[in-house]
């Protein structure tokens, strides 16, 4: 098939819930993607934060190839070696005590919500649980995860959603305090808001929420599906704040390209929440995805990718700051590590589309932010290449 035929066949058969760009990617190598016409693209999106070690990484590929020849699936009725290996490494990397593997980030959020509700039921006998979530947040597209997503655009077509959810203003501690009552069972927030525009939590805000939760026996759920697994220069972003959540969600880079998510809990939460029969999954944590998780944990640790991100963050942000200095439509930057947002006054879709034409893959976040999520292997030469391509984009738009 040629490019047009691939797109035509896909559009004919696949439910139209995405407005896809007119490109057909065929393969990747390191920091670059290649389409069916052989055109090369510098990838600063990493599949929305998934491809942490880029494309065709030999160590990662060898681990998965080996598992393909052993065992793909058994169900959770039995043990298997990758389960033991992945759980031990993921728990250690996360700093938590227990893990439950899911198929996606949205399922990790669903599990986190159920865990918080069960904890309130067990410890307080509370059957009227309320959750405080954040405005402009994004936690997924299932009914439960939409219920705690603070964006009416995603929510309105699917009302009624799960009840008992109240929304506070991100980085406004007083707005959280005003919503706390005897029925509050959890506060859920992204440690760094992604879809909402790349907003890191203020230290005083996240530490203040931790204190509110401690004082009221409320569980703090941190969503690190996008910002976790080394992207901020720490294995998980919360570790930069000197606090610890009660429940932590992960996905995206956790599997390095294989669909897998997880939610982690402390020992206290584990002892007072989900029991056999309360939760389950057929595919979650099967041998293949667990091998991927174990491989990703090993690669992040052995290659010290969080340290690599810290070392190169300033070089990355200096490039974006130079774009701001040179081009009027680029007005501000914010973010942490390899999760950066560039605020623009021109239509963000035009920047993203024009970048793709120039061989640069980037994303949008909200209505006015260009989002950069490069693979964690990105180095100075990649940022130099990105600067040249982004410069060409803004010159063309100007």
For the cut 90, the answer to whether the pLDDT of residue 181 exceeds it is: yes
Please give the order of strands across the beta sheet that includes 98-102.
Answer: 98-102, 261-265, 247-250, 219-223, 184-190, 130-134, 165-168
pLDDT, tens digit (0-9, with 9 covering 90-100), for 62-92 = 999 999 999 999 999 999 999 999 999 999 9
- What does the pLDDT read at residue 147? 98
pLDDT, tens digit (0-9, with 9 covering 90-100), for 298-319 = 999 999 999 999 999 999 999 9
- Rounded CA-CA distance 225/372 in Å is 16
In a 3-state reduction of DSSP, which class is residue 41? strand
Domains and CATH numbers, the chain: 3-57+304-397 (3.90.1150.10), 71-302 (3.40.640.10)
Question: pLDDT band for position 142 (50/70/90)?
Answer: very high
pLDDT, tens digit (0-9, with 9 covering 90-100), for 195-254 = 999 999 999 999 999 999 999 999 999 999 999 999 999 999 999 999 999 999 999 999
Say what percent of the chain tops pLDDT 70. 100
For the cut 90, the answer to whether the pLDDT of residue 264 exceeds it is: yes
pTM, entire model: 0.97
pLDDT, tens digit (0-9, with 9 covering 90-100), for 372-388 = 999 999 999 999 999 99
DSSP 265-276: E-HHHHHTS--T
- What does the pLDDT read at residue 127? 85
Contact between 219 and 247 (Cβ < 8 Å): yes
- What does the pLDDT read at residue 82? 98
For range 339-354, the mean pLDDT: 97
- What does the pLDDT read at residue 398? 83
For range 329-348, the mean pLDDT: 98
What is the rounded average pLDDT for all residues in the chain? 97
pLDDT, tens digit (0-9, with 9 covering 90-100), for 9-52 = 999 999 999 999 999 999 999 999 999 999 999 999 999 999 99
**Strand 184-190 vs strand 130-134: parallel, antiparallel, or unpaired?**
parallel
Question: pLDDT band for position 126 (50/70/90)?
Answer: confident
pLDDT, tens digit (0-9, with 9 covering 90-100), for 89-103 = 999 999 999 999 999
- Rounded CA-CA distance 97/365 in Å is 32
For range 258-266, the mean pLDDT: 98
Strand partners, 340: 335, 372
In a 3-state reduction of DSSP, which class is residue 37? coil
């Amino acid at each position: 098939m040629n490019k047009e035929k691939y797109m035509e066949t896909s559009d004919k058969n696949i439910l139209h819930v995405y407005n896809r760009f007119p490109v057909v990617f065929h393969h990747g190598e390191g920091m670059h993607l290649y389409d069916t016409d052989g055109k090369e693209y510098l990838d600063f999106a990493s599949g929305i934060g998934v491809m942490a070690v880029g494309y065709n990484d030999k160590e990662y590929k060898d681990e998965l190839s080996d598992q393909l020849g052993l065992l793909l699936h058994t169900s959770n009725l039995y043990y298997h070696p990758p389960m033991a290996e992945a759980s031990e490494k993921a728990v250690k990397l996360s700093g938590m005590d227990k893990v439950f593997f899911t198929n996606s980030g949205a399922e990790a959020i669903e599990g986190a919500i159920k865990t918080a509700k069960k904890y309130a039921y067990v410890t307080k006998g509370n059957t009227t649980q309320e959750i405080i979530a954040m405005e402009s947040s994004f936690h997924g597209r299932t009914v439960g995860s939409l219920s705690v997503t603070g964006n009416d655009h995603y929510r309105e077509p699917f009302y009624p959603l799960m009840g008992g959810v109240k929304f506070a203003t991100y980085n406004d501690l007083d707005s959280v305090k005003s919503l706390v009552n005897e029925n509050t069972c959890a506060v859920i927030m992204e440690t760094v808001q992604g879809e909402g525009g790349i907003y890191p939590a203020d230290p005083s805000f996240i530490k203040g929420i931790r204190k509110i939760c401690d004082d009221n026996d409320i569980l703090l759920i941190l969503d690190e599906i996008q910002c976790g697994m080394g992207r901020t220069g720490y294995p998980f972003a919360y570790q930069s704040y000197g606090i610890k959540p009660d429940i932590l969600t992960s996905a995206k880079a956790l599997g390095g390209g294989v669909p897998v998510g997880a939610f982690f809990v402390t020992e206290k939460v584990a002892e007072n929440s989900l029991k056999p029969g309360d939760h389950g999954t057929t595919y979650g944590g099967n041998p293949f995805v667990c091998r991927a998780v174990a491989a990703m944990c090993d690669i992040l640790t052995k290659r010290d990718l969080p340290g690599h991100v810290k070392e190169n963050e300033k070089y990355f942000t200096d490039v974006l700051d130079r774009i701001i200095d040179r081009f009027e439509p680029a007005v501000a930057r914010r973010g942490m590590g390899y999760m950066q947002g560039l605020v623009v006054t021109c239509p963000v879709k035009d920047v993203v589309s024009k970048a793709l034409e120039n061989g640069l893959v980037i994303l949008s976040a909200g209505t006015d932010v260009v989002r950069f999520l490069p693979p964690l292997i990105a180095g100075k030469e990649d940022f130099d290449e990105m600067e040249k391509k982004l410069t060409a984009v803004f010159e063309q738009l100007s």
